[in-house]
Amino acid sequence: MKKYLSLLFFSLLFLLACNPAEEKKLDIKETTTMTPAPYAIAIHGGAGTILKENITEEKEKAIRAVLDRALETGRKILEAGGASADAVEQTIMILENSPHFNAAKGAVFNYDGKNEMDASFMDGKTQNAGAIGGVSTIKNPIRLARAVLEKSDHVLLTGNGAETFAEEIGIEKVDPSYFRTESRWESLLRAKEKEAKSGFKFDQEPDFKYGTVGCAALDRKGNLAAGTSTGGMTNKRYNRIGDSPVIGAGTYANNATCAISSTGHGEYFMRYVVAYDIHARMAYGKESFQEAANTVIMKTLKDQGGSGGIIGVDKFGNVAMPFNTPGMYRGYAKPDEKKIFIYGETE
């Protein structure tokens, strides 16, 4: 009898020791969000005070058309078996070439009436990254950011040095006048007028601190990539550089978890390393992509007064696009599925 009881006791100990481990591996949150897709792509054109009553029907139609063209450009590359890095670069170039978004052609003006642009690029397979800051003659900053990743020994190049590197490797440059748009110039004049009347600092006016474009993609080989490009803040001073070219804040990609591009008030995204924090919650906290993204954007960031959002794709092709501002230009595409949004999450 004692022998039988001893055997039963040790059998129970064995089961108790093994079963919890099995349950821990089978995370319900993970399995319910694991919807593997052969490829996926997500984009954004900036977050902020984007309200339907402030956008004409004609302008909304034009913005949606550019977002659709950008998504379709990346989707076709992925559908044909192309690399996520190529999809990210080509997609962002479409957005950079549009005056509707605060990047490249549509870049805002700084305090001195100049355009200073930043961009970053990251490969999820290698975690290699490239970024540029404060350039004023690069037609497509995202191309230069990717070139820093692939053709230099560095991660971040800025100002004249970045532009010299661009000349050496043949990246297209343009006269600074290429970036001038009247709507952005008028925004600068309004910012200066408000500053003169109220004395607010350049980084405290909500209407002037938003605007970025970005893309994240998963290809058929399981590789993730992400990129971000921006003109920064309207009326910014002192060669200010925001989160967009900061790896882990504005951009992050890791094949083990996800690829992310951020948009919002950059100072907060840098302080709380937003993109990396989402990755870390997934890698170490075993949170699902949506759960991690929601926590960082809707709690961590918001509790500290930070505003903005992210778009991203995880290693299974799941898409997350949380934001804590009134609106965010955004969209995603998978096989046989494509959606574009501008305003609230319920549209």
Active-site annotation, residues: 212
Residue corresponding to tokens 């052969």: 38
Q: In what order do the strands lie in the sheet with 258-264?
A: 251-253, 258-264, 308-314, 319-320
Looking at 128-209, list the stretches that DSSP marks H as alpha helix, in order from N- to C-terminal side. Answer: 141-151, 159-169, 182-198
In one letter, which amino acid is 147?
A
> Percentages helix, strand, coil for the chain, rounded to the nearest 5?
45, 20, 35
* Cα angle, residue 37 at apex, residues 69 and 96 outer, rounded to 5°: 25
* Cα angle, residue 329 at apex, residues 203 and 51 outer, rounded to 5°: 75
Residue 313: in which H helix or E strand, if any? strand 308-314
* Cα angle, residue 140 at apex, residues 134 and 141 outer, rounded to 5°: 30
Q: How many CA atoms, within 13 angstroms, populate the side-chain half-sphere of residue 85?
A: 20
